[in-house]
């Protein structure tokens, strides 16, 4: 699919899947300390076939944005980041947290479109 899109001249921005928290983060926060709402990075970062295909693309028209480092440090991924509940379940960002990523995503969009129009 990426090849068909890029062959048509379009630039593509792929956002890598968010880390999997493994639990319902709001539920965890409600009954536990936020420090308990973490998951080892090695478990939380799952295979993402679309991001892998995008990273392997040779057209020069595909950009991958990975926000994993926003959720995770070197050891664990956090369900609460900067005092904001990051997930509304086990793997989908809350709207509030997604808004905090706007500058990073804007940079990714600018990079994806630069010199590719």
For the stretch 48-81, pLDDT in tens is 999 999 999 998 889 888 889 999 999 999 999 9
Put simply, whether the predicted model's pTM sits higher than 0.85 gets the answer: no
Could you tell me where the beta strands, DSSP code E, fall in the chain? Answer: 12-15, 38-40, 62-65, 76-78, 80-81, 84-85
Question: Does the structure show a pLDDT above 60 at 116?
Answer: no
Higher-scoring residue by pLDDT: 2, 113? 2
């Amino acid at each position: 699919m990426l090849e068909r899109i890029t062959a048509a001249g379009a630039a593509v921005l792929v956002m890598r899947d968010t880390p999997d928290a493994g639990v319902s983060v709001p539920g965890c926060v409600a009954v536990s300390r936020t420090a308990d709402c973490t998951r080892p990075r090695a478990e939380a970062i799952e295979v993402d076939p679309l991001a892998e295909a995008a990273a392997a693309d040779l057209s020069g028209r595909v950009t991958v944005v990975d926000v994993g480092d926003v959720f995770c440090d070197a050891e664990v991924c956090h369900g609460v980041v900067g005092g904001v509940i990051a997930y509304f379940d086990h793997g989908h960002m809350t709207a509030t947290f997604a808004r905090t990523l706007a500058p990073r995503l804007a940079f990714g969009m600018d990079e994806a479109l630069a010199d590719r129009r």
